[in-house]
Amino acid sequence: MLKGKVDDAILHFRKALEICPDCWEVHFNLAHVLAKKGDWQGAITSYRASMRAWRTPNPRNHNDLGICLAQIGKTDEAIEQFNEALRIDGNFPDAHRNLAVVLLQLGRRDEAITQFKEVLRLTPNDPKIKAQLQQLGADH
């Protein structure tokens, strides 16, 4: 049932882009549903179109693009996007969390711990982050 709704949403967003090709919100929302569907390349294209259409830096756009890039193994580009999200908003816990996960996957444990600690600073009651830090043997 959800698959049908996602497919319908994709069709509606694409029709909306025919009317308003420079609407950053439509590109952003299309990217989001394409990512939900697992169409990482399509989502990447739409997130980038959203960034071109809306010149104001948006940390969520960079963060979500980073997630998609990480999904297809482009970890260096993903790290760049998470760092750009954090340059725009250094108190964005999702970008810190996603950066930490990619760093950990790359074996960059100490850098990952630093990012997880930032998440915990921003969301001090997050049990998942506390557990992650404990599993890594890091004080929090």
State the residue for tokens 């009317």: 19
Q: Which residues of 103-134 are buried (b: 16+ CB within 10 A; e: fewer)?
A: bbeeeeeebbbebbbbbbebeeebeebeebbe
Domain with CATH 1.25.40.10 in the chain: 57-140
Span 36-59, pLDDT tens digits: 999 999 999 999 999 999 888 899
State the sign of the Cα–Cα–Cα–Cα dihedral 86, 92, 98, 103.
positive
Comparing CA positions, the residue from 63, 119, 62 lying closest to residue 95 is 63
Per-residue pLDDT reduced to its tens digit, 67-104: 999 999 999 999 999 999 999 999 999 999 999 999 99
> What is the average pLDDT value for the chain, to the nearest integer?
94
Q: What is the CA radius of gyration of the chain?
A: 17
Specify the fold of 57-140: 1.25.40
pLDDT at 140: 62
- The tokens for 75 are 């970890």
DSSP-derived letter for residue 70 is: H
Helices (H) and strands (E) in the chain, counts: 8, 0
Q: What's the whole-model pTM score?
A: 0.90
DSSP 16-62: HHHH-TT-HHHHHHHHHHHHHHT-HHHHHHHHHHHHHH--S--HHHH
